[in-house]
């Protein structure tokens, strides 16, 4: 039986809406940016999600943010490279 290649996948939930982070995202750096934004009246926090797409979420002191990690099957497309997005309408052609 061939061994399956795996990777760590991180999920960030902001006010109940989940975002799967692209592989190149620094969790420690993102946590710091979220904490800094929560200490203000509100600020957008940018990150790259699976599919190599840019995301901005408004984080305030009232935002609820959770970060979780899981081991999943490896996906070579998940590079975080915004110049090569995937997961859109044309990926199934």
Is 86 inside a domain boundary? no
For residue 3, the tally of other CB atoms under 10 A from its CB is 5
User: pLDDT for 44-77, tens place per residue?
Assistant: 999 999 888 999 999 999 999 999 999 988 888 8
Is 93 inside a domain boundary? no
Look at residue 60 and give its three-state secondary structure. coil
Virtual CA dihedral for 75, 76, 80, 81, nearest 10 degrees? -150
Structure tokens at 91: 């990926």
| Cα radius of gyration rounded to whole Å, the chain | 15
Range of the domain at 46: 22-74
User: pLDDT for 14-29, tens place per residue?
Assistant: 999 999 999 888 999 9
Q: How many domains does the chain have?
A: 1
Nearest to 56 by CA among 73, 78, 83, 34: 34
């Amino acid at each position: 039986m061939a061994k399956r290649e795996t990777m760590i996948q991180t999920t960030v939930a902001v006010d109940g809406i989940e975002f799967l982070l692209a592989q190149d995202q620094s969790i420690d750096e993102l946590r710091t940016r979220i904490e800094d934004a929560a200490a203000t009246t509100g600020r957008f926090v940018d990150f790259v999600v699976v599919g190599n797409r840019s995301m901005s979420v408004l984080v305030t002191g009232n935002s609820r943010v959770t970060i979780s990690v899981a081991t999943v099957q490896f996906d070579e497309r998940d590079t975080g490279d915004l110049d090569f997005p995937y997961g859109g309408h044309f990926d199934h052609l």
